[in-house]
Amino acid sequence: MNLKGNWPEGFEAWKHLSDVVLGAGLEPQLLNLVMMRASQINGCASCLDMHSTDAVSAGEDPRRLHVLPAWRDVSWFSARERAALALTESVTRIGEGRTVPDDVIAEADSVLGKDGAAKLLLAIVVINGWNRINITGHAAPRRGPSLSAHS
């Protein structure tokens, strides 16, 4: 399914919402972590490729990206990042019959502020939407590692 090709107005509306979120004032490093974590949970190779590349280009330590699924087990993430990652996981997993725990919402509100938490919530919704659009459309990463090194 090709959303952009089959309904360009819908695609552009979704892209506009994404641009609003990106310009809402949340720090790029935090957004990249959130986008990576949601994309890991959803299994979106295209988004993982894009956001890991963006994160490293913006100065993110690749080791933090490697341990992102186990962020609770290391001390490499700030309180702000931990609150954002907890909210990301809870919102992303709503489809698994789960709800977002009150303590996760309270922590996000406390650490990010109510305005920041609201912006983060929409960022999480947007990346989950992009994951679903790209997975449904069978989007592949734009580039791949050279396989000749593994031959």
Residue 79 sits in a domain whose CATH number is 1.20.1290.10
Q: How far is CA 83 from CA 8, 30, 89, 109, in A?
A: 35, 10, 10, 9
16 in a structural domain: no
Q: How confident is the model at residue 145 (pLDDT cuts 50, 70, 90)?
A: low
Greater model confidence, 139 or 83: 83
Model confidence pLDDT, tens digit, residues 14-61: 999 999 999 999 999 999 999 999 999 999 999 999 999 999 999 999
Model confidence pLDDT, tens digit, residues 78-129: 999 999 999 999 999 998 878 999 999 999 999 999 999 999 999 999 999 9
Q: Which two tokens stand for residue 100?
A: 């977002």
1 in a structural domain: no
Q: Print the domain residue range for 135.
A: 29-140
3 in a structural domain: no
Greater model confidence, 104 or 149: 104
81 in a structural domain: yes
Question: What is the number of domains present in the chain?
Answer: 1
125 in a structural domain: yes
Q: Are 132 and 42 in contact (CB under 8 A)?
A: yes
